[in-house]
Amino acid sequence: MIVFKSYNDTYHEYKIELLNLERLEDKKNKIRDKYFKITSSIKNAGDVLSSTVDYDDKYTNYLIELENTNIEAKIEEQKNVVNKLKYYLNSMQYHISCLKGIEYQIFYEIIYNNKNVSKAIEYVAELNNKEPNTIWINYYPNIKNELKKFEILKEK
C-alpha cells in the first residue's frame, strides 16, 4: 500500500503549496490595497481630476514596493511548484489506473471516479468475476485505512 501513501503525501503537499500560493497572492493584494484602496468617497468628477498627480506617486511607490518584496517572482515560482505537483498527481493517477490488483482497482474507482465504496466494490467484483462479499472480506480491509486518510485530506 506504499503507492497509496505516496499519492496521499503528494496530494497533501499539493494542497499546502496551493495555500502558500494563495497566501502570496493575498500579500500582493494587500500591497495593492495599501496604495489603491477602492472607496466610494469620490463625490464628483473634480475629485478624480485633482488626484491624478497623487495617483502617479502612488503607482510609482506601489511598483517600488512590489519590486522590493519580490512578490511577483515568488508567486511565479510558487505557481511552478503547484503545477509540478499537479503534474505528478496526474501521472500517479494514470499509473495507479494501470496497476493490476483488486485493491488498486477499488482505490481508483473511489478516489478518481468518485464512486462510493459500495458502488466501487460492486463494480470491481463484476470486473473480476467475484462476489461483492469476497471483495468486502478479502480486499477492502487492506486499503480501508489508506482510503480514510485520503478522504480526510480531501475534505480539508
**pLDDT tens column, 39-51:** 655 555 445 444 5
State the CB neighbour count (10 A cutoff) for residue 146: 19
CA distance 108 to 87: 17
Query: Over the stretch 138-156, which tens digit does the pLDDT of each residue have?
Result: 988 888 887 777 665 454 4
Q: Cα separation of 100 and 103, whole Å?
A: 9
Name every residue whose Cβ is closer than 8 Å to that of residue 6 and which is 6 or more positions away in sequence.
92
Longest dimension (CA), the chain: 80
pLDDT in tens, 85-108: 999 998 888 877 776 789 888 988
CA 84/CA 89 separation, integer angstroms: 9
CB 150 within 8 A of CB 8: yes
- State the CB neighbour count (10 A cutoff) for residue 59: 12
Of residues 19 and 35, the one with the higher pLDDT is 19
